[in-house]
Chain A
Amino acid sequence: MITIRQLPQLLRKESRSLIIAVPWLWLALFFILPFLYILKISLAEPQLAQPPYTDLIQTDGEGLVTVLLNFANYMLIWEDSLYLDAFVGSLKVAGVSTILCLLVGYPMAYGIARAPVHMRLPLLMLIILPFWTSFLIRVYAWMGILKSNGLLNNMLMWLGVIDEPLDILYTPIAIYIGVVYSYLPFLILPLYATLVKLDNTLLEAAADLGCRPFKQFLTITLPQSVPGILAGGMLVFIPVMGEFVIPDLLGGPDSLMIGKLLWTEFFNNKDWPLASSLAAVLLVALIIPFMLMRHFERKSEEGQA
């Protein structure tokens, strides 16, 4: 029997699971269900029809139900060096970009965290400001800057630094410029959040014990900001792994990245099952580093409690 008196407590218990149910429902509807659908397509065979893939479950009209699972796509991804190369290509771009973002973003995040309190918000606004323009337009703008008679080359020639235009657009360098430019805020924001919390007395303690400023940074600030580096790094690394727009617009035809390949399989080759297999493999490949990050995060949280 539930008495009136127990009701508030009961409601509280119920409302807690109710609140948790909302994000779970969201995840189930918009992540798990679509992913299962992708998984299903990845195990089918392509066909010229609508939709362009076979059904997994086929009935022959005589009550016989056959389930056809086609693992050929996964085999192909494993065997054809094209896909592996694309993975490696994406891994390289994502890895190098993350490091470049760190090199550029760390000093910026550090500078903002150390700025006077009233300056921090305006500086953060400047970091976020580019987001107010469409991502696509900003990448197109880079084409205008980097092309052979673009802004950059014209300026360098006008300054007399170079005699003939540099080939930047449609090279890996252009991809890196585009990626670092686009994803830098994702690294700066979590890193700033970590650095701004750093206890200044720890640096004073280090100085008091004879540690010079640069070594203070290496032995105290850097280790203490690892959670921010990991969080920011992942926010750059993961989306760049699947990035399609930047390599397609700024990279050359030979730039091999998994996102671009996925697009080609999907829209040009109309091979939905293969594209879905690629998407599934990409997801699994990304979940592993994410779980590693969670692991390290928990460890460093223990270290700070």
Chain B
Amino acid sequence: MTDTRSADELASSAPDTSNNRDIILQIDKVTKHFDSAYACDDISLSIHRGEFFSLLGASGCGKTTLLRILAGFETPTSGRVLIDGVDVTNVPPYQRPVNMMFQSFALFPHMSVIDNIAFGLKQEAISKAERNDRVREMMSLVQIEKLAGRKPHQLSGGQRQRVALARALAKHPKLLLLDEPLGALDKKLREQTQFELINLQQRLGITFIMVTHDQEEAMTMSSRIALMHEGRVEQVDTPRRIYEFPATRYAAGFIGLVNLFQGVVVSHENDQVLIECEELPGQLLVHHSQPLAVGMDVSVALRPEKIRVLPGNDNQPNRVNAVIKDIAYLGDVSIYHAEVASGKRIKFTLPNVQALAEQPLTWEQEVTLGWQGDSCGVLTL
């Protein structure tokens, strides 16, 4: 059996336009502490040219501090930041080939849209004609030509976001840093803007580094995600791999719904692991290629959509009887909570294929649930 975890087999949701050998940003063992609290704890990342890279995490995980270190607003306590091979750790923000789109947009209230966009170019020694060309180009890029003379307070949230984006892109930075770029927009506008940002990034080929707490946003837009937790990087991977093969319990729990079963490794042969779980009857069969010691404490992570409701007699290796206790109707899918004999609840989802058909499952119904050995993962961390 082939290893399902080989990277080339799994395309990411946003096409990866990066050239993997060409590293534009190297974060080398960066640590930052404020007083005694660690905001970033020994973070090392390599980001490729042309990538759309996301720093994902709950608030307080250090993602914003890391972004501010990249912009030059904070100096790391230790470690280095290299852009295109040049150490910029102690270079002030105004000399870095990096621009940032702020969460609050930080448009200059006393300047018109056109002056806001031209501001960065005015700091450079370029001719007025060229500057005007660049500003016009940026305004047409984000479709705000008609707003040129307006002041920021005369703009809607979506328009401000576009101005902020145009202003940050006007200098053609090597890296564009986006701090929760869609946080100030309402849901509908956010979804539309997500795709606009992806298209823009691919057209310009500029490396985007985005900070977000929204896992869906990170999944939709990024070529790779670094999941951060308490100042550390939990996992760096493509959205698909981070979802399907979370490296840690935290990563599994943070992105999407997951069932976690505690267990002990009973045997490990030919990539087939048998795990004994207290909460489930029998032993779980999981495909896993990394070596695992017999007797090791592990967790098995199982996504709700990987679970099938089995007919009476089925040869599935992983099967368990359960009683439906809760049903949450979400429109496209329903989430079912089923209780096994030990009292452990298993979440599973089924698509609602027909509009008015009777619900296939109902409360207190006994079901047999099953899943493939390669549909779940073993977590040791």
CA distance A39 to B171 in the complex (A): 63
CA distance A223 to B94 in the complex (A): 20
Q: Which of B100, B123, B153 contacts A303 (CB 8 A)?
A: B153
Output the residue of B94, B100, B167 with the most chain A CB within 10 A. Answer: B94
* CB pair B104 A209 closer than 8 Å: no
Does A292 belong to the interface (CB within 8 Å)?
Answer: no
CA distance A239 to B171 in the complex (A): 49
Where chain A touches its partner, the secondary structure class is helix
Q: Which of A208, A210, A211, A224 contacts B110 (CB 8 A)?
A: A224
From A72-80, A171-179, A196-204, give the one contacting chain B: A196-204
Query: What 0/1 readout, one digit per residue, does chain A (276-305) give for beta carbons within 8 Å of chain B?
Result: 000000000000000000000000101111
* CB pair A204 B94 closer than 8 Å: no
Residues of A within 8 A of B110 (CB): 223-224, 300, 303-304
CA distance A201 to B119 in the complex (A): 15
Within 8 A of A (CB), among B98-114: 98-100, 102, 104, 106-110
Within 8 A of B (CB), among A205-237: 205-212, 215, 219-220, 223-224
Chain B, residue nearest A301 (CB): B153
Instruction: Knowing A199-B106, A224-B110, say if A204 contacts B167 (CB, 8 Å).
Output: no
Residues of A within 8 A of B108 (CB): 202, 205-206, 220
Query: What 0/1 readout, one digit per residue, does chain B (145-170) give for beta carbons within 8 Å of chain A?
Result: 00000010100000000000001100
Chain B contributes a number of interface residues (CB within 8 A of A) equal to 26
* CB pair A208 B99 closer than 8 Å: yes
* CB pair A201 B102 closer than 8 Å: yes
Chain A contributes a number of interface residues (CB within 8 A of B) equal to 22
CA distance A206 to B171 in the complex (A): 13
Residues of B within 8 A of A211 (CB): 94, 119, 123
* CB pair B109 A209 closer than 8 Å: no
CA distance A21 to B153 in the complex (A): 34
Q: Closest approach, in angstroms, between the C-beta of A275 and any C-beta of chain B?
A: 44
* CB pair A210 B120 closer than 8 Å: yes
Residues of A within 8 A of B98 (CB): 208
Residues of A within 8 A of B99 (CB): 208-209
Chain B, residue nearest A205 (CB): B106
Residues of B within 8 A of A205 (CB): 100, 102, 106-108
CA distance A140 to B94 in the complex (A): 51
Residues of B within 8 A of A304 (CB): 109-110, 153
Q: Closest approach, in angstroms, between the C-beta of A201 and any C-beta of chain B?
A: 4
Query: What 0/1 readout, one digit per residue, does chain B (78-108) give for beta carbons within 8 Å of chain A?
Result: 0000000000000011110011101010111
* CB pair A209 B92 closer than 8 Å: no
Residues of A within 8 A of B107 (CB): 205
Instruction: Knowing A220-B108, A223-B110, say if A209 contacts B151 (CB, 8 Å).
Output: no
Chain B, residue nearest A212 (CB): B94
Residues of B within 8 A of A219 (CB): 119
* CB pair A204 B153 closer than 8 Å: no
* CB pair A206 B102 closer than 8 Å: no
Residues of A within 8 A of B168 (CB): 208
Does B35 belong to the interface (CB within 8 Å)?
Answer: no
Residues of A within 8 A of B104 (CB): 199, 201
Residues of A within 8 A of B106 (CB): 199, 201-202, 204-205
Output the residue of A205, A211, A215, A223 with the most chain B CB within 10 A. Answer: A205
Does B358 belong to the interface (CB within 8 Å)?
Answer: no
Q: Closest approach, in angstroms, between the C-beta of B303 and any C-beta of chain A?
A: 39
Chain A, residue nearest B153 (CB): A305
Instruction: Knowing A209-B171, A210-B120, A224-B109, say if A204 contacts B151 (CB, 8 Å).
Output: no
Q: Which of B100, B109, B153 contacts A208 (CB 8 A)?
A: B100
Chain A, residue nearest B100 (CB): A208
Residues of B within 8 A of A204 (CB): 71, 73, 93, 100, 102, 106
Q: Closest approach, in angstroms, between the C-beta of B281 and any C-beta of chain A?
A: 57
Q: Closest approach, in angstroms, between the C-beta of A31 and any C-beta of chain B?
A: 35
Q: Which of B72, B73, B120, B153 contacts A209 (CB 8 A)?
A: B120
Residues of A within 8 A of B93 (CB): 204, 207-208
Within 8 A of A (CB), among B107-148: 107-110, 119-120, 123-124
CA distance A224 to B123 in the complex (A): 19
Instruction: Knowing A224-B109, A224-B110, A305-B153, say if A207 contacts B102 (CB, 8 Å).
Output: no
Q: Closest approach, in angstroms, between the C-beta of A225 and any C-beta of chain B?
A: 10
Q: Closest approach, in angstroms, between the C-beta of B123 and any C-beta of chain A?
A: 4
Residues of B within 8 A of A305 (CB): 153
CA distance A209 to B123 in the complex (A): 8
Residues of A within 8 A of B120 (CB): 209-210
CA distance A207 to B100 in the complex (A): 10
CA distance A273 to B92 in the complex (A): 66
CA distance A303 to B111 in the complex (A): 9
Within 8 A of A (CB), among B303-353: none
* CB pair B124 A303 closer than 8 Å: no
Residues of A within 8 A of B100 (CB): 204-205, 208
Instruction: Knowing A201-B104, A303-B109, say if A208 contacts B94 (CB, 8 Å).
Output: yes
Q: Closest approach, in angstroms, between the C-beta of A304 and any C-beta of chain B?
A: 5
With A201-B104, A208-B71 already in contact, 8 other A-B pairs whose C-beta atoms are closer than 8 Å: A199-B106, A205-B106, A206-B108, A207-B72, A207-B92, A208-B168, A210-B94, A304-B153
A-B contact pairs, 11 of them (CB 8 A): A202-B106, A204-B71, A206-B108, A208-B93, A208-B100, A208-B168, A209-B99, A210-B94, A224-B110, A303-B110, A303-B151
